[in-house]
Amino acid sequence: MSVVKGVAMRTVYVNGAYVPETEAKVSVFDRAFLFGDGIYEVASVLGGKLIDFPAHVARLHRSANELGMRFNVSDEDILAIHRELIDRNGVEEGVVYLQMTRGAVDRDFLFDTDNLEPTLVLFTQTRPLIDTPVARNGLKIVSIPDLRWGRCDIKTVQLLYPSLGKMEAKSRGADDAWMVRDGVVTEGTSNNAFIVTKNGAIVTRPLSNEILPGITRAALMTYSAASGTPVEEREFTIEEARDAAEAFITSASVFVGPVISIDGIELSGGKPGPVTLGLRQTYVEESLKRAL
């Protein structure tokens, strides 16, 4: 991290070079800029260490594979770049954002993956993840129709609909939105959706092309099952969610985020529920044991 006129400036990574953020450049012909032809990962950092890192790299490979995108960096180098950025920017708590695109070429709908050099950009964001307003107070959720494309399982940078969904939630006095397709909840705009039944089981819909296979979702399900919390992988309606004992979201940047109302209907007395808070603690403790 360097300082220019009193403003702390991050060091970011662009195509092999570590540069001050104001000097980082990507071509205007980059396919992610013109076509949304890029994939990304967000990995969290606690105590200067990466959470769930191998799973994030595995999903990056899967996303590239599904899009037939070249992958020309080794997993060792990806980890080394993350570590270097955490170190150079002094990140104790926050996230590392990674974006890989198909590359830069004159604008054309057709693309020649084999002859394109993928663009690789990484940057850090220092921010609290443990002691946050969301963890303390919970989130108000509204439901919106899921109008995204048919391959929501690929982590692409096409985030316009989720961004509009968050803006709609804000305009309706809420914090975030859950999306509903064919009568059932798919996921949150940038997170996976869970409910807690009155019997204390946690429920989340099964993986398919309609949702992102969340890394936090998978880890939490494993830790829950191991600690004796029943896990049900099945679809649920927004009506069932509004009537649930508790609800929560999972994502790399929030971990386990309590939901305190859905479409104006309060859950768990309008405050974070005990099962959710317990799972949040379990997730953080277990992840730290495995942090890299």
Q: For ligand PDD, which is the closer residue by CB, 103 or 214?
A: 214
How many residues would you count in the chain? Answer: 292
Rounded CA-CA distance 169/258 in Å is 16
155 has catalytic annotation: yes
**Stretch touching ligand PDD by CB under 6 A, among 11-19, 131-139, 184-192, 230-238:** 184-192
Rounded to 5 degrees, φ, ψ at 145 are -65, 145
Helix (H) or strand (E) holding 197: none
- The active-site residue, picked from 25, 155, 166, 271, is 155
Site string for ligand PDD, 217-236 (x = CB under 6 A): x-------------------
- Is 250 a binder of ligand PDD (CB under 6 A)? yes
Site string for ligand PDD, 26-55 (x = CB under 6 A): ----------------x-------------
Rounded to 5 degrees, φ, ψ at 258 are -65, 140
The answer to whether 106 and 88 are in contact (CB under 8 A) is no
Secondary structure (3-state) at 130 = coil
Q: For ligand PDD, which is the closer residue by CB, 116 or 224?
A: 224
- Is 252 a binder of ligand PDD (CB under 6 A)? yes
Q: For ligand PDD, which is the closer residue by CB, 37 or 52?
A: 52
Q: For ligand PDD, which is the closer residue by CB, 11 or 192?
A: 192
- Is 214 a binder of ligand PDD (CB under 6 A)? yes
Residues 99, 143, 191, 261: which binds ligand PDD (CB under 6 A)?
191
The answer to whether 235 and 206 are in contact (CB under 8 A) is yes
Rounded CA-CA distance 102/123 in Å is 18
The answer to whether 232 and 177 are in contact (CB under 8 A) is no
Instruction: Write out the catalytic residue numbers.
Output: 155
